[in-house]
């Protein structure tokens, strides 16, 4: 791949960083940025740049910062591929120190909530922007621990106090590899739509029916409020199947008639699954 600058949700050591190195290769120039919006803006500035952003966690749900950027189309980015990461979490801390605080991104804290309640019932959960930031807190504060990858223990001189945490429940995080430009790939198996529907009874049902008639599967629906329009919502729809098929094209044509606006965000493959 010719791209040499790869942006990801930083700092170094996050799961986004892990996915970026696995997908694009360690020889690329990795650029950690503080927010998902910063990643998308950075990628949008040059066609040679790519990035990695999280979009959903199987326990914590949708990553709304990513969803909102895709729905608005600002900054404009193109989806290259969906990548899944089987996340195995470690509890990191100072050896033998009592744990009063547990830091992590909201998704790991949500995934491990029952384990924390059972094993560390008096520990206070504290949400931070990333697992890497959580590990920094664990290294710098007394009686603090973090949920994150085992590699963060080496980076911050911490002990792996428990691994894997909540091992009996699968914890998958989905990421998008993004670029500033691009077209739908022939091997695409998913598409994302940004849709604004009329605020009237039956509008969503009418929209969905256009896909049912053509036997096209809608695998995900996420609604988000439209800024400045109280009571109105934009929808992110995920469609499975190749966008070049006749049934997909026909369903999309009819769906546009049932919408105030409809935009195809991108069509992409989703074959890669990594382990942390």
Q: Does residue 78 share a domain with residue 147?
A: no
pLDDT at 252 (0 to 100): 94
In a domain, residue 224? The reply is yes
pLDDT one-digit tens code per residue, 97-115: 999 999 999 889 998 999 9
Of 180, 211, 230, the one marking the end of a domain is: 180
Q: Indicate whether 265 and 195 sit together in one domain.
A: yes
- Specify the pLDDT at position 199: 87
**Could you tell me if residue 260 is inside a domain?**
yes
Within a domain: residue 252? yes
17 and 62 within one domain: yes
In the structure, what pLDDT confidence band is assigned to residue 3 with cuts at 50, 70 and 90? Answer: low
> What is the chain written as a DSSP string?
----EEEEESSTTSHHHHHHHHHH-TTSEEEEESSHHHHHHHHHH-TTEEEEEEEEETTTEE-HHHHHHHHHT-S--EEEEEEEEE--EEEEE-TT----EEEE-HHHHHHTHHHHHHH-TTPEEEE-S-HHHHHHHHHHSTTEEEEE-THHHHHHT-EEEEEEETTTS--EEEEEEEESS----TT--EEEEEEE--SSTTHHHHHHHHHHHTT-EEEEEEEEEPTT-TT-EEEEEEEES-TTSHHHHHHHHHHHHT-SEEEEEEEE---EEEE-
Q: Quick one: 23 and 36 in the same domain?
A: yes
Per-residue pLDDT tens digits for 226-268 = 888 888 899 999 999 888 899 999 999 999 999 999 999 989 9
Q: What is the tens place of the pLDDT at every residue in 179-225?
A: 876 665 668 899 999 999 998 899 999 999 999 999 999 999 999 99
User: Minimal CA–CA distance to 128: which of 150, 102, 154, 149?
Assistant: 102
**Same domain, yes or no, for 151 and 201?**
no
Q: What pLDDT, on a 0 to 100 scale, did the predictor assign at position 228?
A: 81
Q: Are residues 202 and 261 in the same domain?
A: yes
Q: Is 169 or 141 the better-scoring residue by pLDDT?
A: 141
Any idea which of 49-58, 102-111, 265-274 has the lowest mean pLDDT?
265-274
Q: How many domains does the chain have?
A: 3
pLDDT of residue 242: 84
Is the domain of 82 the same as that of 14? Answer: yes
How many other CB atoms sit within 10 Å of the CB of residue 16? 26
Query: What pTM did the predictor assign?
Result: 0.85
Is 58 in the same domain as 117? Answer: no
Buried-exposed string 66-96: b where 16+ CB fall within 10 A, e elsewhere: bbbbbbeeebebbbbbbbbbebebbbbbbee
33 and 93 both lie in a single domain: no
- Whether 250 is in a domain gets the answer yes
Q: How confident is the model at residue 37 (pLDDT cuts 50, 70, 90)?
A: very high
Tell me, what's the pLDDT at 224? 94
81 and 27 in a common domain: yes
76 within domain boundaries: yes
* pLDDT tens figures, 64-95: 999 999 999 999 998 999 999 998 999 999 99
Clarify whether residues 44 and 114 are in a common domain: no
How far CA 31 is from CA of 80, 161, 179, in Å, comes to: 18, 30, 14
Residues 78 and 211 in one domain: no
The pLDDT value recorded for residue 232 is 84
In a domain, 185, yes or no: no
126 lies in which domain range? 89-165
CATH (domain of 161)? 3.40.190.10
So what's the pLDDT on residue 168? 74
Average pLDDT, the chain: 91
């Amino acid at each position: 791949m010719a791209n040499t600058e790869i942006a990801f949700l930083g700092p170094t050591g996050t799961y986004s960083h892990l996915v970026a190195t696995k997908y694009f290769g360690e020889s690329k120039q990795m650029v950690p940025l503080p927010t998902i919006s910063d990643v998308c803006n950075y990628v949008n500035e040059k066609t040679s740049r790519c990035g990695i952003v999280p979009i959903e966690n199987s326990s914590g749900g949708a990553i709304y910062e990513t969803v909102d950027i895709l729905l608005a189309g600002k900054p404009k980015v193109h989806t290259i591929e969906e990548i899944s990461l089987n996340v195995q979490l470690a509890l990191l801390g100072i050896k033998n120190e009592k744990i009063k605080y547990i830091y992590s991104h909201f998704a790991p804290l949500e995934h491990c909530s029952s384990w924390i309640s059972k094993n560390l019932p008096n520990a206070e959960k504290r949400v931070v922007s990333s697992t890497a930031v959580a590990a920094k807190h664990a290294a710098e504060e007394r009686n603090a621990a973090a949920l994150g990858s085992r590699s963060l223990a080496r980076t911050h001189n911490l002990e792996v106090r428990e691994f894997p945490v909540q091992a009996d429940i699968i914890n998958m995080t989905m990421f998008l590899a993004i670029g500033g430009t691009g077209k739908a790939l022939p091997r695409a198996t998913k598409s994302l739509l940004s849709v604004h529907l009329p605020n009237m009874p039956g509008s969503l049902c009418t929209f969905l029916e256009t896909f049912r008639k053509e036997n096209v599967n809608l695998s995900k629906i996420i609604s988000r409020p439209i800024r400045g329009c109280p009571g109105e919502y934009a929808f992110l729809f995920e469609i499975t199947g190749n966008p070049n098929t006749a049934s997909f094209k026909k369903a999309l044509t009819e769906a546009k008639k049932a919408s105030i606006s409809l935009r195809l965000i991108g069509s992409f493959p989703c074959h890669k699954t990594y382990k942390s």
